[in-house]
Chains A and B, each alone.
Chain A
């Protein structure tokens, strides 16, 4: 008799376990309602405590890393915890944590090794760390979301790539005084000082704003850090190296002899209907090589595929070239691997295929030596002095992989101090950044929403029909209370947007279970809005912004005629997010669109989100009114003079 309750409990537990396993393993038909309920339970903001999930669990999130000159210490940039961890390479122990700021993005060691420069992208600062005392000795203000950072060879001048202002700030490295700005590509982000110190290369993550439905174009902005007698005083742009067809350009590396350089990037297929993923249907993950060695082989730059016929290596991010120039290592943030390339084999193959081989998925089999599994979302990579060891920052599991570059094996994994419990928010972020749900690992959410933002591209999605309903990719920041989603307003919530629809028409492969979809929803709903740099202060507007606000809210046009309520800016673009969450026909329907009835987009961080309109046809905010609003259906704007349009833009930049 006494055993009965025990047996009952065991049986009940078994039944519960069976039920749980069944619940966890249900893949087909994940209902948005189930995911919604689960997401609500895992909401990043706890209503009772007002403490967000992110605040409760701050993960290190190592994004970039560098070695000290003697190789004894790793300086690890931890994006989410906002500090630099100093890690002993001998023991793997964290020796010190140096608090820096919000959303750290770039790190550079001065040529003499005495200073570390760290960008804090959401604080608009560059911090200077003394590598002997491991103390922050200065903080320089750099407007425009500082990202990549380098100095010139002397260490006297600092160069900072700014993602929001699309430029490179030139500063006195000692005082932090800004000397000048140089225009760079849209979303300027990653920088490299050449081996000889004569050039600085800057990449950018959003493609240039070109004509509608034309191929993406990016560039490497090539800067001379020095004056050129008779030509230019001080640092200046000497070249804008085109990266034809590239979008989403990340790190650049150069060989020690300066003769070979490589930059990692996406090669999107956004202009072709996204009907299926095989044969590189959505994106290619590539390198572009340049430099004298490449000139010698092919007479110019060459684009190098990293994918294979049946397997893709999403999100090529970090690049390193061994000092002996025998290998190139590339991290793949979506595939959780590091690709090892034989440089001699690659140059030989390139020489044999001088017309290019970017579309040949069998090419990589001729020069890839290994694919090394590492941690989740590997990003930054650095080599020791001899090139025998590579250190890889695995951003989403808070580890550093140490790789033997000769054997292409992971020697050990260094775990950083970080919360042990993995929150729903963190799981959602891991899901957002992995490409494992895409058919053959083709791509993931973050392939098109770079760093959880957008890609600056328009896409031709299949279910609407080929060439029908071309859609601009939208920003994910602070999207709570902006539903419905999708330009046609067809998806009432994120579980609908990212569930069955995404499985069928994006991944073309088995999607998440209900819990993973709920976690993903928690993450997406928790993506924060970046600080607004256009506002002069809390609750303040500049005179131009004030004038623009008046235009935005006006009820009478320049001729004294009343503007119907439905045709006022602030009717559709109302509320704190700038959307009344309804659909309207504002006269922007193209012959390729099935309907002119379109969801009112939110105005969040609108300065960042070009191109504009549902199909990305307006390159600037001004074009919305001056080119695509001939009949004043998209608000009364044809009475506005240029100065007023500028004021309106100034106001919108504050949203």
Chain B
């Protein structure tokens, strides 16, 4: 992948010019929050295509970013065969987007300034790069199309020196970023169970991961309610996250472990929404047989006000060209190890119902490069339900609880990963984010501080056994 750096040279000059130039007009410096709206217009919108097929296209007949203001639309940029996936920088002055100059090109990542339309390609590769999002510190994430579908990467925008992108997702199935949460984590959509694609029967689901790829988990674990799949999404000023469940809107809210319904006019809703400063939402909705149209609505109100109507194209993924809060930067605490440590506090605990007895062992499987499961070994489980293992980092893994005869009692249906150098604790086996840990020394740590090595790599123990 190539990160272009031409702006580095221009930056000092620009800074000088900025310092001595007259101050910009207020409207250019800080666009009013609410309008204009930037949205993607497309003849065909297939939002889940990239989660379904390895070569799936969300916009199979092309797409175009529009700047929509007071009922009028104009292309955000010119000279492109296709543009999509706009994201506005925190100062409201720049837009990151995916674009193709020629129809045969791969999607690459571009940035344009809103005031003077300076256009720069910030990342390209011999594959598609889509769904870019700004991250704190002039960094960005995006989805890169790989052999197993899209994977999410973090990279610097205009690095002083070329730096390798950091892969955030480590599954052999597609994953696409949806939003950056204010706590600095990345909200992404992928198949559930994680590590499987929609073509394998998975449902789309929302997950969270830190900006260094650690701490991956389901946003919520009420998976039983996702018959139609959850996708898209945007964090509101209140901290709630609104997303699309099937074709309707729903929300996650901090006090609740399960999704909450949103009472909105009957229509089909499409993914990402935008929230104005006064709390109104701009969404894409369509009636049966119609096109996705941008509407302004107030939560709880039956009224929807169309913002722009174009019967020839769908209009989706609206964003506001205005300032918005910078998310918190995640300070990566990953160690410089090829492996990762994982400890479970009590494997009996689960949303599926707590186990009455402690299984004697837990088995680790890891996916090989072809996606085949490989048994890496087993580890004993202490009488309090705790175990402590070392696994290989950045690989899809899953655990199975075994009975004394070695038969599975409970198994993870999907795959997850731990970043190389990560140390992680699970409260139980799929207890859900609502379950806090209990305060006691896990029995396994009273016996040893050395994890059972299931990494398949010969590494020295980091501490001694009692």
Chain A interface residues (CB < 8 Å from chain B): 7, 11, 14-15, 18, 27-28, 213, 215-216, 245, 267-273, 275-276, 278-281, 284, 305, 307-311, 358-362, 364-365, 368, 439-440, 460, 462-463, 465-468, 500, 503-505, 507-511, 591-592, 594
- The answer to whether residues A508 and B345 also contact, given A284-B436, A440-B183 and a CB cut-off of 8 A, is no
B412 within 8 A of A: no
**A269-B439, A440-B183 as given contacts; A311 in contact with B434, CB under 8 Å:** no
Q: A281-B437, A309-B433 are in contact. Are A273 and B257 (CB under 8 A)?
A: no
Q: Please, which residues of chain B bring their CB within 8 A of the CB of A15?
A: 19
Contacts of A245 in B (CB 8 A): 439
Q: Is A18 within 8 A of B19, CB to CB?
A: yes
Q: How far is the CB of A111 from chain B (nearest CB, A)?
A: 40
> When the two chains form the complex, which single residue of A273, A311, A507, A509 contacts B425, counting CB atoms closer than 8 Å?
A273
Query: With A504-B332, A508-B333, A591-B466 known to touch, is A361 a contact of B436 (CB < 8 Å)?
Result: yes
Q: Which residues does chain A contribute within 8 Å of B435, judged by CB atoms?
A: 279, 359-361
23 A-B residue pairs with Cβ-Cβ distance under 8 Å, sorted by A, are: A11-B20, A245-B439, A268-B439, A271-B439, A272-B437, A276-B215, A276-B425, A279-B427, A280-B437, A309-B433, A310-B183, A360-B436, A368-B255, A440-B183, A463-B335, A466-B343, A467-B442, A509-B328, A509-B331, A510-B136, A510-B328, A510-B330, A511-B331
Whether A509 pairs with B256 at a CB distance below 8 angstroms is no
The 3 closest A-B pairs by CB, nearest first: A365-B255, A280-B436, A467-B445
> Is the pair B449, A468 in contact by a Cβ cutoff of 8 Å?
yes
* B137 adjacent to chain A (CB < 8 Å): yes
Q: How far is the CA of A7 from the CA of B425 in the complex (A)?
A: 59
Partner of A510, one of B329, B343, B448: B329
B463 in the interface (beta carbon within 8 A): yes
Q: Residue B311 at the A interface, CB < 8 A?
A: no
Interface secondary structure of B, over-half rule: loop
Q: How far is the CB of B170 from chain A (nearest CB, A)?
A: 18
What does DSSP make chain A's interface, helix, strand, loop or mixed? loop
- B427 vs chain A, min Cβ distance (A): 6
Residues from chain A with a CB closer than 8 A to the CB of B446 are: 213, 467
Using CB atoms, name the residue of chain B closest to A18.
B19
B62 contacts partner chain A, Cβ-Cβ < 8 Å:
no
- Contact yes or no, B18 A359, CB < 8 A: no
Residues of B within 8 A of A271 (CB): 439-441
Residue of A nearest to B423 (CB): A275
Q: Does B305 contact A (CB under 8 A)?
A: no
Chain A residue nearest to B256 (CB atoms) is A365
B200 within 8 A of A: no
Asked whether any CB of chain A lies closer than 8 Å to the CB of B388, the reply is yes
| B329 nearest CB neighbor, chain A only | A510
Whether A465 and B254, one on each chain, are in contact in the complex, defined by CB atoms closer than 8 angstroms, is no
When each residue 454-466 of chain B gets 1 if its CB lies under 8 Å from chain A and 0 otherwise, what string results?
A: 0000000011101
Annotate B135-166 by CB proximity to A: 1 below 8 A, 0 otherwise. Answer: 01100000000000000000000000000000
- A18-B18, A276-B424 known; 10 new pairs, CB 8 Å cut-off, are A18-B19, A28-B137, A215-B439, A273-B425, A278-B217, A281-B437, A362-B434, A365-B256, A460-B441, A463-B333
Binding site for A on B (CB under 8 A): 15, 18-20, 136-137, 183-184, 215, 217, 239, 253-258, 328-333, 335, 341, 343, 345, 388, 423-425, 427, 433-442, 445-446, 448-449, 451, 462-464, 466
A135 to B436 alpha-carbon distance, docked (Å): 51
Tell me the complex Cα distance, A503–B331, Å. 7
Note all chain A residues with C-beta closer than 8 A to B463: 465, 467-468, 592, 594
A509–B137 alpha-carbon span in the complex (Å): 14
Which residue of A has the minimal Cβ distance to B240? A310
Check B333–A462 contact: CB distance below 8 A.
yes
Interchain CB contact under 8 A, A361 and B434: yes
Task: Known A275-B424, A310-B239, A509-B331; judge A359-B436 contact (CB<8 A).
Answer: yes
Chain A residues with CB below 8 A from B343, complex form: 273, 275, 466
Interface contact A439-B183, CB-CB below 8 Å: yes
Determine how close the nearest CB of chain B comes to the CB of A496; give it in whole angstroms: 15
- The closest CB in chain B to the CB of A366 belongs to B255
Look across to chain B and name the residue whose beta carbon is closest to the beta carbon of A212: B441
In the bound assembly, the distance between CA atoms of A27 and B184 in angstroms comes to 14
Separation of A429 and B440 alpha carbons in the complex (Å): 32
A592 CA to B441 CA in the complex, in Å? Answer: 13
**A281 and B255 in contact, given A359-B435, A465-B463, A510-B331 (Cβ under 8 angstroms):** no
Residues of A within 8 A of B184 (CB): 509-510
Give chain A nearest CB distance to B399 CB in angstroms. Answer: 17
| Chain A residue nearest to B440 in the complex (CB) | A271
Q: Which residues of B contact A463 (CB under 8 A)?
A: 333, 335
Instruction: Given A275-B425, A462-B423, A466-B445, check contact A361 B331 (CB 8 Å).
Output: no
Q: Is the CB of A362 within 8 A of B257?
A: yes
- Within the complex, which residue of A278, A500, A505, A507 is in contact with B215, where a contact is CB–CB below 8 Å? A278
Shortest Cβ distance from residue A498 to the other chain B in the assembled complex, whole angstroms: 13
B257 contacts A309, CB within 8 Å? yes
Q: How far is the CA of A367 from the CA of B152 in the complex (A)?
A: 39
Contacts of B451 in A (CB 8 A): 466
On chain A, the residues within 8 Å of B137 by CB distance are 27-28
User: Measured between C-beta atoms, what is the minimum distance from B237 to chain A in Å?
Assistant: 14
CB B372 to nearest CB in A, in angstroms, measures 30
Choose one: B20, B217, B425, B449; the contact of A465 (CB below 8 Å): B449
